[in-house]
Amino acid sequence: MTEDWAEERDKAVLNTIYYCETCNIIVEPGDVDISIHKRELPHHKMRRVMILRCGKCGNVVTDSYAEYSPERNQFWCKNCISETGVDGFHTS
Protein backbone atom coordinates (compact mmCIF):
# COMPACT_ATOMS: atom_id res chain seq x y z
CA MET A 1 0.00 0.00 0.00
CA THR A 2 1.52 3.29 -1.07
CA GLU A 3 0.79 6.74 0.24
CA ASP A 4 -0.85 7.63 -3.07
CA TRP A 5 -3.31 4.87 -2.50
CA ALA A 6 -4.34 6.29 0.87
CA GLU A 7 -4.47 9.80 -0.54
CA GLU A 8 -6.72 8.75 -3.40
CA ARG A 9 -8.99 7.01 -0.96
CA ASP A 10 -9.11 9.99 1.39
CA LYS A 11 -10.22 12.24 -1.47
CA ALA A 12 -13.47 10.28 -1.60
CA VAL A 13 -14.09 11.04 2.07
CA LEU A 14 -15.87 14.37 2.16
CA ASN A 15 -16.46 14.67 5.86
CA THR A 16 -16.34 12.75 9.11
CA ILE A 17 -19.14 13.11 11.60
CA TYR A 18 -20.10 11.32 14.78
CA TYR A 19 -23.28 9.55 15.61
CA CYS A 20 -24.35 8.95 19.20
CA GLU A 21 -26.39 5.78 19.37
CA THR A 22 -27.51 6.58 22.90
CA CYS A 23 -28.90 10.04 22.11
CA ASN A 24 -29.76 9.10 18.53
CA ILE A 25 -28.20 12.30 17.20
CA ILE A 26 -25.58 13.23 14.65
CA VAL A 27 -22.74 15.34 16.00
CA GLU A 28 -20.34 17.22 13.76
CA PRO A 29 -16.71 17.68 14.71
CA GLY A 30 -16.31 20.97 16.51
CA ASP A 31 -19.89 20.77 17.74
CA VAL A 32 -20.26 21.52 21.44
CA ASP A 33 -21.95 18.13 21.85
CA ILE A 34 -18.61 16.46 21.17
CA SER A 35 -16.94 18.01 24.20
CA ILE A 36 -20.01 17.42 26.34
CA HIS A 37 -19.87 13.77 25.37
CA LYS A 38 -16.14 13.52 26.04
CA ARG A 39 -16.43 15.27 29.39
CA GLU A 40 -19.74 14.18 30.83
CA LEU A 41 -21.10 11.30 28.80
CA PRO A 42 -18.20 8.93 28.13
CA HIS A 43 -20.53 5.95 28.50
CA HIS A 44 -22.55 7.00 25.43
CA LYS A 45 -21.99 4.92 22.33
CA MET A 46 -20.38 7.23 19.80
CA ARG A 47 -19.72 6.03 16.29
CA ARG A 48 -17.57 7.68 13.65
CA VAL A 49 -19.40 8.09 10.35
CA MET A 50 -17.66 8.94 7.10
CA ILE A 51 -19.45 10.91 4.40
CA LEU A 52 -18.30 9.57 1.05
CA ARG A 53 -18.79 10.25 -2.61
CA CYS A 54 -19.60 7.19 -4.69
CA GLY A 55 -16.90 6.72 -7.35
CA LYS A 56 -19.44 5.53 -9.90
CA CYS A 57 -22.62 7.60 -9.65
CA GLY A 58 -21.23 10.49 -7.57
CA ASN A 59 -23.95 10.29 -4.94
CA VAL A 60 -23.02 11.30 -1.42
CA VAL A 61 -23.57 8.48 1.06
CA THR A 62 -22.43 7.41 4.52
CA ASP A 63 -19.87 4.65 4.98
CA SER A 64 -22.55 2.22 6.13
CA TYR A 65 -24.14 2.60 2.69
CA ALA A 66 -20.89 2.23 0.74
CA GLU A 67 -18.03 -0.17 0.31
CA TYR A 68 -14.43 0.26 -0.68
CA SER A 69 -12.80 -1.66 -3.51
CA PRO A 70 -9.00 -1.82 -3.29
CA GLU A 71 -8.99 -3.09 -6.89
CA ARG A 72 -10.66 0.11 -8.09
CA ASN A 73 -9.38 2.32 -5.28
CA GLN A 74 -12.89 3.73 -5.02
CA PHE A 75 -15.86 3.76 -2.74
CA TRP A 76 -19.13 2.76 -4.36
CA CYS A 77 -22.62 3.08 -2.93
CA LYS A 78 -24.63 -0.09 -2.45
CA ASN A 79 -26.91 0.79 -5.38
CA CYS A 80 -24.01 0.75 -7.81
CA ILE A 81 -22.55 -2.41 -6.27
CA SER A 82 -25.83 -4.29 -6.61
CA GLU A 83 -26.27 -3.03 -10.19
CA THR A 84 -22.78 -4.09 -11.20
CA GLY A 85 -22.51 -7.10 -8.92
CA VAL A 86 -19.93 -7.65 -6.21
CA ASP A 87 -17.58 -9.46 -8.62
CA GLY A 88 -17.67 -6.55 -11.04
CA PHE A 89 -17.10 -4.13 -8.22
CA HIS A 90 -13.93 -5.96 -7.20
CA THR A 91 -12.54 -6.06 -10.73
CA SER A 92 -10.56 -3.10 -11.97
Q: How far is the CB of 92 from Zn ion (least distance, A)?
A: 17
Q: Determine if 80 is a binding residue for Zn ion (CB under 5 A).
A: yes
Number of H helices, E strands in the chain: 4, 6
Q: Pick from 19, 24, 27, 22: which is nearest to 47 by CA? A: 19
- Residue 22 C-beta: closest distance to Zn ion, Å: 4
Q: Is there binding between residue 44 and Zn ion (CB under 5 A)?
A: yes
Give residues in contact with Zn ion (CB under 5 A): 20, 22-23, 44, 54, 56-57, 59, 77, 80
